[in-house]
Amino acid sequence: MVILTLDTFIRHLPHRAYVKLSSLLDPGGLWENLAAKIPLNMEDIDDNDAQPRYTHQQIAVFALMGQRTGSGNSPTQRVLIDWGTRNARVSHLIKVLLRAEYYAAANYLNNDLLNLGIIPPPVNDDDPQPLPPMGDSDAIPDPKSRENQEEKDMPGGKNNPEQNSSSQNVDSLCDSFDGMSSDGGTLSDRMSCFSDHRDSVLAMEGVLLSQLRRHSLDCREDSEDGWIGLKDIEIQTIEYAMLSGVTNDFNTEPLEKGGNLVGAGGFGKVFLGKFRNGFKIAVKFLMQSESMRKEDLNLLIKQFETEVKMLSTYRHENVVHLLGYSIDGPSQCLVYQYLPNGSLEDRLSRYQGTPPLSANMRLKIVMGTAHGIRFLNDKGYVHRDIKTANILLDSEFNAKVGDFATVVSAPSGDSKTIVRATTVIGTPAYLAPEAINFDISTKLDSYSFGVVLLEVITGLPAQDNRREETTISNHIMENVEEPSEIHSFVDQSAGAWSEGAVDKLYDISMRCLIHQKRKRPNVKDILPELEEL
């Protein structure tokens, strides 16, 4: 039997201790405050102003993991297990619990487990004093002293959980006050609450806009290869009610019919959010329901975690810009910079009558896409779902690689190490042959990029069941015997290409589509050739 002391590593605590702490700290999300109090460095355990170990994004990920079904998903336990890898001791945990003012949890460890006695709460001059005897005029409470608490506790107030899951339009919030019962506070209280909510919308609008502008400056001026690190990134936690407001209650009518729905697929829908000054955001609403299968729910949460982690760690001018996320509503949401020119897939197909992309625009988009993929691969990631639908275009037709739900770590050594997956991930027309064997490497992305190049050259879709060869790669390989024959497939709506551009793009595409992985280049290998066009 292990003898527990203050010096015992928390990873050696008995299971019953983890269960008890979870029962004390999981309800009401008390564990989040505990996680926020844990210092980055153990030597700073007594410093109240120490740099925290966990960021808001990491705490949010712990919360999401706690939403998974099944045992072992207590966020309190996940935090303690993770912190335990840093050789945290029971004495450290007690100190953090006391700093968070969780005396019941601290005393469970100090008294119940270690038999060291009860730790009393500190007494100071700010503690509430006993009420004076009845009849003392000084005992009459000042109504204003309760004003803030009443505002927080009233329906729609800041601390009311119903507010966080509301789907009310910001402009219609005022109407909802008319139906409130008389115990909901005075009219001035209710109007103050509405004003606070509207102010928070305007404040968030300013924060998101400043982040977007700073991101553009950082990528253009502060970095040689167009990326910035975690220390420069501020991902915002955004209220679901706010997102509901700017998306007109997540209006599912398509944009072309006056609604807010940009597109849908897989587990999510994307909505356009519009602020009063014209600032726009794209909101990905991750669809989940009580009828969803356990494995699908876990996959959805895992994809959310992956995207937040990836886009919270690095930024690049050719990667979609994550502005924030929401986890306080009925479904998780991701908030991005709105890219008005849609996807490369839609523009190549001239969806909704959009004008064709010129040859120069296509070269610019191809170049930006290659830079985005190279960035991901250089940082140790494989996207696994590169396709024209996931290449988004801003107002100046700069390419942004998007949809990071499928991203995984790449093997080291330029793909010489084999990493195995358990599920084939990706879109069939873009999948490299080795994907069927669950083989993961950066060569998956270069193969997919080869398919994208064929789409850019020809304007043909990657998958067309009306063709004899349904995938574009098979279609071109079957019908182009000599390199010069690719010119008969060139999309004429692009206009004139610069000399040799089509031949070079086709040559690069064919090399990216080589079936033998070891002979296939990485995107970074062909990037210098693209830059010469």
Residues 280 and 339 sit within 8 Å (Cβ to Cβ): no
In the block, which residue shows the tokens 């004093």? 129
Question: In CATH, what number does 344-531 get?
Answer: 1.10.510.10
Residue 267: closest CA among 217, 316, 236, 306: 306
All structural domains of the chain with their residue ranges: 10-113, 151-175+186-205, 206-337, 344-531
415 — pLDDT class (breaks 50, 70, 90): very low
Edge-to-edge order in the sheet of strand 333-337: 236-237, 322-326, 333-337, 280-286, 268-274, 261-265
> Residue 253 is which amino acid?
E
Phi, psi dihedral angles at 364 (to 5 degrees):
-60, -45
Residue 381: closest CA among 403, 416, 402, 406: 406
Round to whole Å and give the CA distance between 354 and 349: 9
How high is the pLDDT of residue 67?
64
**Contact partners, residue 432, CB within 8 Å, separation at least 6:** 443, 444, 447, 448, 517, 520
Residue 368: closest CA among 394, 341, 349: 394
Higher pLDDT, 459 or 57: 459
* pLDDT above 60 (res 152): no
The torsion angle over the Cα atoms of residues 342, 348, 351 and 354, rounded to 10 degrees, is 80
Tokens representing 92? Answer: 């450290």
Tokens representing 453? Answer: 């190049």
Q: For 71-121, what is each residue's pLDDT tens digit?
A: 457 889 989 998 998 899 999 999 999 999 898 899 999 999 999 988 887
Average pLDDT over residues 177-197: 36
Tokens representing 66? Answer: 């706690």
277: left (phi over 0), alpha (psi -120 to 50) or beta: alpha
Q: What angle do CA 83, 84, 86 make, to 5 degrees?
A: 75
Round to whole Å and give the CA distance between 338 and 255: 13
Residue 38: exposure state from Cβ atoms within 10 A (0-12, 13-18, ≥19): buried
Among residues of the chain, what percentage have pLDDT more than 90?
Answer: 49
Tokens representing 171? Answer: 């402009």
Q: What's the sign of the alpha-carbon dihedral 37, 205, 328, 385?
A: negative
Round to whole Å and give the CA distance between 88 and 90: 7
Tokens representing 385? Answer: 């779902």
**Contact partners, residue 497, CB within 8 Å, separation at least 6:** 359, 490
Residue 452 CB-half CA count within 13 A: 32
**Known binding residues for ATP:** 284
Among residues of the chain, what percentage have pLDDT more than 70?
Answer: 73
Q: How would you classify the pairing of strands 322-326 and 236-237?
A: parallel
Catalytic residues: 385
- Give pTM, 2 decimals: 0.63
Q: For 201-249, what is each residue's pLDDT tens digit?
A: 555 555 565 555 554 444 444 444 554 444 445 677 888 888 999 999 9
Residue 327: closest CA among 309, 289, 301, 306: 301
At residue 493, the 3 state secondary structure works out as helix
Q: How would you classify the pairing of strands 280-286 and 268-274?
A: antiparallel
Tokens representing 516? Answer: 């033998």
At residue 91, the 3 state secondary structure works out as helix
Residue 431: closest CA among 417, 410, 445: 445
Phi, psi dihedral angles at 418 (to 5 degrees):
-95, 130
* pLDDT above 70 (res 279): yes
Q: For 53-69, what is each residue's pLDDT tens digit?
A: 998 778 877 777 666 54
Q: For 10-53, what is each residue's pLDDT tens digit?
A: 999 998 999 999 999 988 788 999 999 999 999 999 998 899 99
Range list of β-strands (E), 22-93: none
489 — pLDDT class (breaks 50, 70, 90): very high
Residues 342 and 351 sit within 8 Å (Cβ to Cβ): yes
The strand pairing partners of 526, in sequence order, are none
CATH architecture of 10-113: Orthogonal Bundle (1.10)
**Contact partners, residue 290, CB within 8 Å, separation at least 6:** none
Q: Output DSSP code: residue 254.
A: B
How high is the pLDDT of residue 513?
98
Query: Which superfamily does 206-337 belong to?
Result: Phosphorylase Kinase; domain 1 (3.30.200.20)
Higher pLDDT, 369 or 422: 369
What average pLDDT does the structure give for the chain?
79
